Amino acid sequence: MVYNFLFHRVNPERNSLWDPMGVSLFEKSIKYISKNFDVRLAEELYLSPVSLKGKQRIATIMFDDGYLDNLEYGAPILKKYNCKASFYVVTNCIDNNVPVWTYALEYYFSKTNITEFGFNFDFLPNSLNVSTLASPEERHNYVSRLKPLLKSVLNEDRERLISFVRNKCIDVDLPKIMMNWNDLKFLKDEGHYIGSHTLSHPSLGTLKDLKILRDELTKSGEVIKDNLGYFPVSISYPVGSFNEETKKISIESGYKFGLAVKQDIHNPSLEDNFEISRIELYNESWFKTRLRINNTLERIKKYIRYR
């Protein structure tokens, strides 16, 4: 079986909304994975038939989005334990040094002093169509409920709401926290792989306009080719969202495999290579992280669900 481990940020600074994995926990995780798994680069593993021997456990290490702290804190630890990783980047975010919408949305609400919003969107439930958010606590609670919903609504609705929030929160400047192409070239030269995470990080399964879907997939790969010299073989679906049209156009665009989330291990002999399972790891206790790494937590959940 293949355990594809997914990370996002690795950083010593804490964040109450989307907490990066702490540096010490990341090192403990990589040390444990390197000791207990046969660690491979995903793009080498999935471009050839995967041969599993007995109870052999293969692992890959992956990062989504393209945050600078991947380079500053993650890469030295990977080097220390001789692990190669795959970094899936949102090319518009790399080009413009702006964070992905999932980060930006939370940042706006956590930093703004604006209290009058006047939300009135037909795709939001009444509980989220509020006029005022008078305190930091109210804004924190609001975005904690809003963000999960925006991952599943139509892409044009999500973009409309985020544009609305951006125009409201005029007192907030987004931080410069993304890697640039020189950073990515350095990682590539170190033996890591740079794959696509689309142009702008939409939920691909919610895109109804097939031209936009094709552009998100194809143009992001072309931007990587322009900057790094190759069209990537791998596409990571933002927020794990995809459908059959996503898979079809990914293949037509030239990708060789596609990455979902699913929080489960991947069986290459039985499962579709365009919806490969990944296990996302978070900033949690080492006990819970180790349960996730060994897929024990997911097995417990399945047992409770189906008993």
pLDDT value at residue 305: 67
Query: Distance (Å, rounded) from C-alpha 85 to C-alpha 78?
Result: 8
- First-to-last CA distance in the chain? 24
pLDDT value at residue 270: 87
pLDDT value at residue 125: 97
pLDDT value at residue 303: 62
Residue 122 DSSP label: T
Quote helix, strand, coil % in the chain, to nearest 5.
45, 15, 40
Could you identify the residue written with the tokens 């692990």?
83
- The closest alpha carbon to 131, from 141, 144, 121, 140, belongs to 121
CB 253 within 8 A of CB 285: no
Q: Consecutive 10-residue runs of the chain (307 residues): their mean pLDDT?
A: 97 94 98 97 89 80 98 98 98 98 97 97 97 97 97 96 98 98 98 98 96 98 98 98 97 98 91 95 97 88 66
